[in-house]
Chain A
Amino acid sequence: MSDLTPLRDLLDHHVVGHDEVKTALLLALVTREHIYVEGPPGTAKTRLAEVAAKGSELDFFFYQLHRDTRLAELVGDIVLERRKVKTDGGAPGTAGEAERIHQRIEPGGLLTAEIAVLDDISRAPGEALNVLLRILNERRFGAEPIPLMAAIATGNPMDDEYYNEPLDPANLDRFALQLRVSGLIQSGVDEAKTLIDRFAAGSVVEQPDPEPVTDRATLDALNKRMYEVEVGAAVRAALLDVLRTLVLEFECNETNSLLTDRTFLVKAIKILRGAALLAGRDAVDLPDLAALSWMTTFRVPPEAHEALPRIIGRISRQVRAV
């Protein structure tokens, strides 16, 4: 059993369904990776992010992006410092005063938060997102490390009707975990009934504030344990085989995919370890490879993403047979 069970229960208490997103959110917290959730409006994306953030008692920064988003709104205030300096005036017979003006940023927002919810990230123009996403990636601003553990971004689908621009592929790559959600009612799953029943029974209070059920110390301990999870040669070989299949059989390349080394050779190991840890194991096992599906959503062509569970199944069987 993992130490995040209370947080999972909290998510279940506040939001019906969306099992995968919930698991992926926990995975993001444990592995300290960022997560992007895309779905149509009204599918509890923001709510899930909020509950996860508040339930883990972390310093929380919520920002709704818009098309005029400026850097200063995300990282704090731009401060102009003015200092009087003496000057000899440069020319003989002159005397004067001068003012030195220095521009700096008073850290706030993303720079001081432990968990950030970036709502509607696809609404911000790609150019404006660049710095934001770099901060997310490097977890420092200038030379200063920032306390951020995970950013949870949400976005709308890239259809014309939402007037969004698709996120720049390099930008999307900053989110190790990527999921697509659809509305329970729209997709007609069983939970849709539960959802409606809950509201009908009046057991749901609109937007109650979740109580903290875990804390930073617990998450720190989990993160530390994550690095002790063993990743054996068999799992590594299977992972490489999956990647090889995507490249060779599904012809994923630089034009149609974002199969970057950073994500699939460095971060994938973390994700697998986190998945094992959440499953209560201290070594990565072949079933943990299923978590790779949360990494490929917007990185490979749809048919390759859809085929991934099958590929993983086949390769797992082969590895086991050896």
Chain B
Amino acid sequence: MTLAAPDHRATELAAAFVELRTALGKVLVGQDDAATGLTLALLAEQHAYLEGPPGCGKSELAAALAALSGARTHTLVFHRDIRETDLLGDVLLSRHRHRGHERLRRELIPGPLLQAEIALLEDLPRSPGEALGPLLRILAERHALGQPLPLESAVATGPLEQVEAPIDPLEPGQLDRFAVQLRLTGLLAGGLFDEAAVLLERGAAREPSRAAIRSTAGSAHPPAVISTATRKAAQRAAAALQVEPRTLDAYHRLLDRLRQRTADESASGDRLMSDRSFSSAALRLVRAHAFLRGAPAAAPRDLGAIRYMVAHRLPEEVQEDFDHILEELLGDPPNVTMAKTGAQMPGAQSQGDDSDGAAAASPASDSWIDDQADLPAPPTLFGKPPPPAQVDPLLRALVGRIERGRIDPDTDPGGQPRGYRPLRDLDELIDADLIEALLFADGRLPGAPRTFERKRKSAGGAVAVLRDISASMAGRLTVWSSQVVLGILRVAARRRMRVGYVEFHHRALPHYVGGRLLHRSYSRLAEQAGQAKAVGQTNYEAPLRTALEGLRGGSGRNRHVVLLTDGLPIIGDTTVRRERQLARRLGVALHTVFLGNGDCPPVLDDISLETGGLRFYGRPLAGGGLRLEER
């Protein structure tokens, strides 16, 4: 099977993909890592999910991959009103007379998406569940309408989770369909000013740049660098590559290490190591990595390909450590830098550490590493912050309370389609099932066509955050409580809840926007929360009174107050008896979070227990961090 001639052929095939990678790396400044990840995804025939802030080039990179690879491509832009027929294809309605009765059948004729070799799924998270479900199933099964799909890779793009974005993020289980997960960083936001200068210089050239051409005359994509035959041959060859036993052994140890680190309670973020991804998909990527290197078999260092899988599968701390974990495991001195950009492949520079020394002479060994690999590491922008507070447990519990107290989505003509209902008046035809509308118009439909039932999650609900800024909250407590406040703001923003923010010491210092305590200016509060200075003594009564007065005018059941403190009240009514009563009457849940050392003041328990609020405290962690846990 492995004769000299096929080897030679494999080298050529690898070289073609190396060229693809190099060309892709030139599309964007400073996003080499993503270019490598996408190349591996195509070679391993895996799906990829690209996320990043707006305007960092996600779509451009995905489109360039499709163009450079010469694959038959279909682009689908996801939006609220996307329908099954957009995904699947045309409808075939047939009528058959059979032994005296007539049978009506409705079938789908595979559309362009089902015929694509590369599917570009833009803004995937914006899709309503109705369209997303079938799509994700198709991607996983690579089979639709009773036939296998020619699909090699689907590349989806999506926004970073953002404070004010009105969309719900994809769940880890949905994201798991995408073996490769890449996170792009903006050059400016990431402080990569050297790369930014390169981009500025490109744009300042005295001719319309590619971006400029695009904005006047549609897209101008680079020509294909490989043929379909080469692409498919390379994919087959990569999939057939042997995985050395020591690689498998190392892989098992790597999984052990990742499991250990992920189980560590101090880690926060996603964690989903599914069998689906970490068996077949991972090994396909490892093989592709070896193939790209021109190696005859997958060596332990090819496990580096796993790092392109971890963005939504492992906690952030573990992601950041991934390269170290792997290096440690392989027993190699760290020989590669893994800056976020200017990336090179793990192990790509190490020479002769294993049996593929012969391959070092092949075009794949080094030449596909971009010249820009030596760009300086991003500068550290700020001083070293204290170890972060782990606020996720609190946020999860709070989200649970909010969801429970929340009104079901309301019918709203501008909302997301969430099911069907019969047509009530003819204006709704635009939203009706097209085929049924057609039959209806023909007089062939008994009854009315079904139409989308649109619902929008209630924008109701409010949360007021009361934050102790008395003198004892100085130092890291200030930083931590800022993190808690920011977390709550994100939770509220996602649900379009109104927010209020009151800092307090001996007095309450509410932050009004437009004369109101409750509003939706999330970012303004977020900014405010970052500037708190600790001063004065503690008074619970004043801030509770302020918050409840602010909530009193509002309606709806979903009203919350989160009291964040580190100490006993000294000033004002220390039992806050009247405020507790008022909260009960208004149906406001008072949640308390105690960040201080020592015992939690009993009054906080009373406040929470009486009003059905949560009780949390900050448990110090080894290493100086803090984790919020239920009292």
Chain A residues engaging chain B, CB cutoff 8 angstroms: 32-33, 67-72, 78, 80, 82, 85, 87, 89-91, 93-103, 124-128, 130-131, 134, 138-140, 142-146, 158-160, 165-166, 168-170, 173, 223, 227-228, 230-231, 236-237, 239-240, 243-244, 247-248, 253-266, 269-270, 301
Query: What separation, in Å, do the CA atoms of A100 and B111 have in the docked complex?
Result: 12
Residues in B neighbouring A243, C-beta threshold 8 A: 188, 193, 196
In the complex, the answer to whether B186 meets A259 with C-beta atoms within 8 Å is yes
* With A259-B186, A265-B196: A127-B96 Cβ-Cβ less than 8 Å: no
In the complex, the answer to whether B200 meets A265 with C-beta atoms within 8 Å is yes
Looking at the complex, which one of B166, B206, B526 makes contact with A256 (CB distance below 8 Å)?
B526
Residues in A neighbouring B96, C-beta threshold 8 A: 87, 89-91, 94-96
Interface residue SS majority, chain A: mixed
Query: What separation, in Å, do the CA atoms of A259 and B55 have in the docked complex?
Result: 9
Query: What separation, in Å, do the CA atoms of A33 and B456 have in the docked complex?
Result: 33
Residues in B neighbouring A165, C-beta threshold 8 A: 166, 496
In the complex, the answer to whether A261 meets B187 with C-beta atoms within 8 Å is yes
In the complex, the answer to whether B415 meets A125 with C-beta atoms within 8 Å is yes
In the complex, the answer to whether B434 meets A101 with C-beta atoms within 8 Å is yes
CB distance from B172 to the nearest CB of A (A): 21
Residues in B neighbouring A258, C-beta threshold 8 A: 53-55
Query: What separation, in Å, do the CA atoms of A44 and B332 have in the docked complex?
Result: 68
In the complex, the answer to whether A169 meets B200 with C-beta atoms within 8 Å is no
Query: What separation, in Å, do the CA atoms of A127 and B165 have in the docked complex?
Result: 10
In the complex, the answer to whether A130 meets B126 with C-beta atoms within 8 Å is yes
Q: Mark B205-241, 1 if CB is under 8 A from A, else 0.
A: 0111101101111110000000000000000000000
Residues in B neighbouring A260, C-beta threshold 8 A: 53-56, 186, 188-189
In the complex, what residue of chain A is closest to B200 when comparing beta carbons?
A: A236
In the complex, what residue of chain B is closest to A104 when comparing beta carbons?
A: B90
In the complex, the answer to whether B79 meets A127 with C-beta atoms within 8 Å is yes
Looking at the complex, which one of A95, A96, A138, A230 makes contact with B206 (CB distance below 8 Å)?
A230
CB distance from B527 to the nearest CB of A (A): 6
Query: What separation, in Å, do the CA atoms of A82 and B441 have in the docked complex?
Result: 13
Query: What separation, in Å, do the CA atoms of A69 and B81 have in the docked complex?
Result: 11
In the complex, the answer to whether B203 meets A94 with C-beta atoms within 8 Å is no
In the complex, the answer to whether B212 meets A270 with C-beta atoms within 8 Å is yes
In the complex, the answer to whether B123 meets A130 with C-beta atoms within 8 Å is yes
In the complex, the answer to whether A169 meets B164 with C-beta atoms within 8 Å is yes
**Is B384 an interface residue, CB under 8 A from the partner?**
no
Residues in B neighbouring A78, C-beta threshold 8 A: 430, 434
A-B contact pairs, 6 of them (CB 8 A): A94-B96, A98-B92, A139-B215, A228-B206, A255-B162, A256-B523
In the complex, the answer to whether A259 meets B189 with C-beta atoms within 8 Å is yes
Query: What separation, in Å, do the CA atoms of A227 and B514 have in the docked complex?
Result: 44
Looking at the complex, which one of B199, B214, B414 makes contact with A67 (CB distance below 8 Å)?
B414
Residues in A neighbouring B91, C-beta threshold 8 A: 100-101
CB distance from B216 to the nearest CB of A (A): 6
In the complex, what residue of chain A is closest to B83 when comparing beta carbons?
A: A103
Query: What separation, in Å, do the CA atoms of A82 and B444 have in the docked complex?
Result: 15
**Is B160 an interface residue, CB under 8 A from the partner?**
yes
Query: What separation, in Å, do the CA atoms of A94 and B98 have in the docked complex?
Result: 5
**Is B416 an interface residue, CB under 8 A from the partner?**
yes
Query: What separation, in Å, do the CA atoms of A6 and B564 have in the docked complex?
Result: 61
Looking at the complex, which one of B199, B414, B438 makes contact with A128 (CB distance below 8 Å)?
B414
What 7 additional pairs, Cβ within 8 angstroms, besides A227-B206, A260-B188, A265-B187?
A: A96-B97, A100-B93, A101-B92, A160-B514, A170-B162, A231-B203, A261-B199
Looking at the complex, which one of A95, A100, A128, A228 makes contact with B92 (CB distance below 8 Å)?
A100
Query: What separation, in Å, do the CA atoms of A166 and B208 have in the docked complex?
Result: 34
Chain B residues engaging chain A, CB cutoff 8 angstroms: 53-57, 75, 77, 79-81, 85, 90-99, 105, 109, 122-123, 126, 159-160, 162-167, 186-189, 191, 193, 196-197, 199-201, 203-204, 206-209, 211-212, 214-219, 381, 413-416, 430-431, 434-435, 438, 456, 486, 496, 514, 516, 519-521, 523-524, 526-527
Query: What separation, in Å, do the CA atoms of A84 and B559 have in the docked complex?
Result: 58
Query: What separation, in Å, do the CA atoms of A78 and B90 have in the docked complex?
Result: 14
In the complex, the answer to whether A94 meets B97 with C-beta atoms within 8 Å is yes
In the complex, what residue of chain A is closest to B218 when comparing beta carbons?
A: A145
In the complex, the answer to whether B166 meets A127 with C-beta atoms within 8 Å is yes
Residues in A neighbouring B99, C-beta threshold 8 A: 93
In the complex, the answer to whether B126 meets A262 with C-beta atoms within 8 Å is no
Query: What separation, in Å, do the CA atoms of A68 and B414 have in the docked complex?
Result: 5
Looking at the complex, which one of A33, A87, A127 makes contact with B80 (CB distance below 8 Å)?
A127
* With A160-B516, A254-B186, A269-B203: A101-B196 Cβ-Cβ less than 8 Å: no
Query: What separation, in Å, do the CA atoms of A80 and B162 have in the docked complex?
Result: 38
Query: What separation, in Å, do the CA atoms of A169 and B215 have in the docked complex?
Result: 20
Residues in A neighbouring B206, C-beta threshold 8 A: 227-228, 230
In the complex, the answer to whether A87 meets B90 with C-beta atoms within 8 Å is no
In the complex, the answer to whether A99 meets B92 with C-beta atoms within 8 Å is yes
Query: What separation, in Å, do the CA atoms of A256 and B521 have in the docked complex?
Result: 11
In the complex, the answer to whether A160 meets B414 with C-beta atoms within 8 Å is no
Looking at the complex, which one of B214, B519, B520 makes contact with A138 (CB distance below 8 Å)?
B214
* With A231-B204, A261-B55: A127-B188 Cβ-Cβ less than 8 Å: no
Residues in B neighbouring A96, C-beta threshold 8 A: 94-97
In the complex, the answer to whether B186 meets A266 with C-beta atoms within 8 Å is no
Query: What separation, in Å, do the CA atoms of A146 and B214 have in the docked complex?
Result: 11
Residues in B neighbouring A227, C-beta threshold 8 A: 206-208, 212
CB distance from B415 to the nearest CB of A (A): 7
Residues in A neighbouring B435, C-beta threshold 8 A: 101
Query: What separation, in Å, do the CA atoms of A165 and B413 have in the docked complex?
Result: 15
Residues in B neighbouring A71, C-beta threshold 8 A: 79, 81
Residues in A neighbouring B164, C-beta threshold 8 A: 166, 168-169
In the complex, the answer to whether A93 meets B188 with C-beta atoms within 8 Å is no
In the complex, the answer to whether A262 meets B98 with C-beta atoms within 8 Å is no
Looking at the complex, which one of B79, B212, B214, B523 makes contact with A255 (CB distance below 8 Å)?
B523
Query: What separation, in Å, do the CA atoms of A71 and B166 have in the docked complex?
Result: 19
* With A254-B160, A262-B57, A301-B523: A139-B216 Cβ-Cβ less than 8 Å: yes
In the complex, the answer to whether A256 meets B207 with C-beta atoms within 8 Å is no
Query: What separation, in Å, do the CA atoms of A263 and B215 have in the docked complex?
Result: 13
Query: What separation, in Å, do the CA atoms of A102 and B75 have in the docked complex?
Result: 18
Residues in B neighbouring A266, C-beta threshold 8 A: 199, 203, 209, 211
In the complex, the answer to whether A262 meets B85 with C-beta atoms within 8 Å is no
* With A98-B92, A169-B162, A236-B200: A131-B77 Cβ-Cβ less than 8 Å: yes
* With A130-B126, A166-B164: A253-B189 Cβ-Cβ less than 8 Å: yes
In the complex, the answer to whether B98 meets A91 with C-beta atoms within 8 Å is yes
CB distance from B49 to the nearest CB of A (A): 17
Residues in B neighbouring A125, C-beta threshold 8 A: 80, 414-415, 456
Residues in A neighbouring B434, C-beta threshold 8 A: 78, 80, 101, 103
Residues in B neighbouring A32, C-beta threshold 8 A: 215-216
Query: What separation, in Å, do the CA atoms of A243 and B212 have in the docked complex?
Result: 21
Query: What separation, in Å, do the CA atoms of A237 and B96 have in the docked complex?
Result: 73
CB distance from B342 to the nearest CB of A (A): 16
In the complex, what residue of chain A is closest to B203 when comparing beta carbons?
A: A269
Looking at the complex, which one of A160, A170, A269, A301 makes contact with B159 (CB distance below 8 Å)?
A170
